[in-house]
Amino acid sequence: MSLDSASGKTAQPMSNPGTTDAVDRMSLTRFDMIIDVRSPAEFAEDRVPGAVNLPVLDNEERAIIGTTYVQESRFLARRMGAALVARNVARHLEAALKDAPPTFRPLIYCWRGGQRSNAMALILAQVGWRTTVLQGGYKTYRRNVQRRLYDEPLGFGLILLDGNTGCGKTDILKRAAARGAQALDLEALAQHRGSLFGAMADAQPSQKWFESSLVHELSAMDPSRPVLVEAESNKIGKRTLPPALWQAMLTAGRIELSAPVDERVRHLIEVYPEMIADRELLDAALTRLDVYPGRKQLAAWRAFADAGQFEDLVREVVERHYDPSYLSSSKRDARPRLATIELGSLSVTARDSVAQRITEIAGAP
Contact (Cβ atoms closer than 8 angstroms) between residue 229 and residue 138: no
CB atoms near residue 161 (< 10 Å): 24
> pLDDT tier at 4 (50, 70, 90 boundaries)?
very low
Active site residue 110: yes
Q: What is the pTM of this model?
A: 0.89
108 and 174 assigned to the same domain = no
236 and 348 assigned to the same domain = yes
311 and 234 assigned to the same domain = yes
225 and 285 assigned to the same domain = yes
Residue 61: CB partners within 8 Å, gap ≥ 6? 39, 84, 88
Domain span at 90: 2-146
User: pLDDT of 292-337, one tens digit each?
Assistant: 677 788 888 888 888 888 898 889 889 988 899 888 888 889 999 9
279 and 210 assigned to the same domain = yes
CA distance 250 to 233: 10
190 and 249 assigned to the same domain = yes
Q: Which of 10-19, 110-119, 179-188 has the lowest mean pLDDT?
A: 10-19
CATH number, domain containing residue 116: 3.40.250.10
Task: From 87, 115, 146, give the residue that closes a domain.
Answer: 146
Q: Is the pLDDT of residue 165 over 80?
A: yes
59 and 192 assigned to the same domain = no
62 and 205 assigned to the same domain = no
CB atoms near residue 309 (< 10 Å): 14
User: pLDDT of 190-215, one tens digit each?
Assistant: 998 766 655 545 689 999 999 999 99
- The whole-chain average pLDDT of the chain stands at 90
324 and 250 assigned to the same domain = yes
Task: From 115, 146, 177, give the residue that closes a domain.
Answer: 146
241 and 288 assigned to the same domain = yes
Domains held by the chain: number? 2
Nearest to 264 by CA among 191, 196, 343: 343
User: pLDDT of 83-109, one tens digit each?
Assistant: 999 999 999 999 999 999 999 999 999
90 and 200 assigned to the same domain = no
User: pLDDT of 23-32, one tens digit each?
Assistant: 999 999 999 9
295 and 225 assigned to the same domain = yes
Task: From 93, 124, 146, give the residue that closes a domain.
Answer: 146
> pLDDT tier at 290 (50, 70, 90 boundaries)?
low
Per-residue pLDDT averaged across 226-240, rounded?
93
Q: Among residues 77, 110, 134, 249, which one is catalytic?
A: 110
Residue 205 amino acid letter: P
